[in-house]
Amino acid sequence: MTPERIRALLEAVAQGQTDVDEAFANLAHLPFEELGFARIDHHRTMRQGFPEVIFCEGKTVEQVVAIADRIVSSGAALLATRTNAEMRDALVAKYPEANVNALARTVVVAGEIPAAETIGKILVVSAGTSDLPVAEEAVETARVMGNEVETLYDVGVAGIHRLLACRERLSDASVIIVVAGMEGALPSVVGGLVNVPLIAVPTSVGYGASFKGLAALLGMLNSCASGVTVVNIDNGFGAGVAASKINRLRAG
């Protein structure tokens, strides 16, 4: 039921065309949620500058292209994550203007994203070179959502001097995403050096007793640096979204 239909119903009651009991029965089954649905959708996609996202892992190339087609033709911006090479080729063939990041496994086809008012820069920090695909996924996600993003890679805690040498860059950021596998200690060290919001992303990088990222995940959840928050293993996309939400200016 749309606002128009509610208004029409009320007018009919006012004009005596519909009696009170009938109108009440109609309103009692008011499908308000559809109303809510539309509002949320509008809010999210139009005003907030969020793209539509396709998580491509486990989908076929045909499915990915079909979904992309529907999104792009609707004028929305598109972010495809966890693509494989074949998917990337297919998307680029169709949308030559697409922005491809093979390391991040992302494809972006930009549509209408109104500019959001952001607070500052997002900095993505990673521990080792094997963490880069996850870090880059966070970078691409945050960028397509209108953020200025910088990166600081390969500053794992076993060579703490590398991180300390970049302390100034840490201080410049408004939000920091820290990506690390193995023991996942980097967020604790970074979190002790800065006071801005810090999102930790454990990666499945590691051997034996890392148990596919469990060691890094537990390490980050138990960080001795106050206020570190954590997302799922390898979830660069989720970290990028969380950082974007923080980086938007919002006076409640």
Interface with a second copy includes 191 (CB under 8 A)? yes
Q: Which of 84, 99, 101, 204 binds a second copy (CB under 8 A)?
A: 204
Rg (Cα) of the chain, in Å, rounded?
23
Applying CB under 8 A, among 2, 5, 36, 93 the residue interacting with a second copy is 36
Footprint (CB under 8 A) of a second copy, residues 77-116: none
The strand ranges marked E within the chain are 52-55, 78-81, 99-101, 106-109, 121-126, 148-152, 175-180, 198-202, 228-230
Nearest approach, Cβ of 111 to a second copy (angstroms)? 18
CA distance 92 to 87: 9
Interface residues for a second copy in 151-180 (CB under 8 A)? 156-165, 167-168, 172-174
Query: How do strand 121-126 and strand 148-152 relate by DSSP bridges?
Result: parallel
List the interface residues with a second copy, window 15-34 (CB under 8 A). 16, 19-20, 23-24, 27-34
Tell me which long-range contacts 205-211 makes (C-beta under 8 A, separation of at least 24). 205/128, 205/130, 205/131, 205/181, 206/181, 206/182, 210/181, 210/182
Using CB under 8 A, pick the residue from 130, 151, 153, 154 that binds a second copy: 130
Using CB under 8 A as the binding rule, whether residue 46 contacts a second copy is answered as no
Judged by CB, which is closer to a second copy: 97, or 168? 168
3-state secondary structure of 82: coil
With CB under 8 A as the contact rule, the residue among 119, 151, 153, 154 that binds a second copy is 119
Query: Which tokens sit at 216?
Result: 């890094």
Binding segment for a second copy among 70-78, 84-92, 96-104, 123-131 (CB under 8 A)?
123-131
Which position among 83, 106, 126, 223 is part of the footprint of a second copy (CB under 8 A)?
Answer: 223
